[in-house]
């Protein structure tokens, strides 16, 4: 069956996207610094409003992840002007969760995507593979 691309305002974050982000980020119940120069992070990679010493539970962390992921989805809907498949949208939400909506929307990836260059946009994901100068990318991304 041929899957149809939909306009992004009509696509919701899928359960597999949420589970994928949670699995990749992994759970931490106490705020930590992923790298020495990073910002405090808690739960499943949430950074907004987190201070060192903050604590959470798995249930609260999942609820916060859902809120944060939906905020990122809302943000990228503002800059993506072409239709996407669900898996493409989920990938873009996941990337924006890690790099931020501002960086995502200003990226070459979005420029290529909005020009209809879906393949070129996907290739751009590989440019966002480092944290603190070290490669830190999902093991399922082919290089």
Q: Which residues are catalytic?
A: 25
Whole-angstrom Cα distance, residue 65 to residue 62? 5
CA-based diameter of the chain, in Å? 50
Torsions phi, psi for 130 (to 5 deg): -120, 150
Residues 6 or more apart in contact with residue 102 via CB below 8 angstroms: none
Q: Are strands 41-43 and 28-32 parallel, antiparallel or unpaired?
A: antiparallel
Distance (Å) of CA 51 to CA 1, 24, 28, 128: 48, 22, 14, 26
């Amino acid at each position: 069956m041929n899957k149809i691309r939909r306009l992004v305002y009509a696509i919701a974050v899928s359960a597999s996207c949420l589970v994928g982000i949670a699995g990749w980020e992994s759970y931490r119940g106490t705020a930590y610094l992923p790298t020495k120069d990073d910002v405090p992070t808690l739960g499943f990679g949430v950074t907004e409003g987190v201070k060192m010493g903050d604590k959470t539970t798995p249930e609260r962390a999942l609820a916060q992840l859902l809120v944060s992921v939906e905020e990122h989805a809302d943000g990228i809907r503002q800059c993506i002007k072409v239709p996407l498949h669900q898996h493409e949208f989920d990938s873009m939400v996941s990337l924006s969760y890690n790099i931020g909506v501002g960086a995502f929307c200003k990226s070459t990836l979005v420029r290529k995507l909005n020009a209809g260059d879906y393949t070129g946009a996907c290739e751009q994901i590989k440019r966002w593979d480092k944290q603190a100068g070290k490669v830190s990318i999902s093991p399922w991304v082919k290089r």
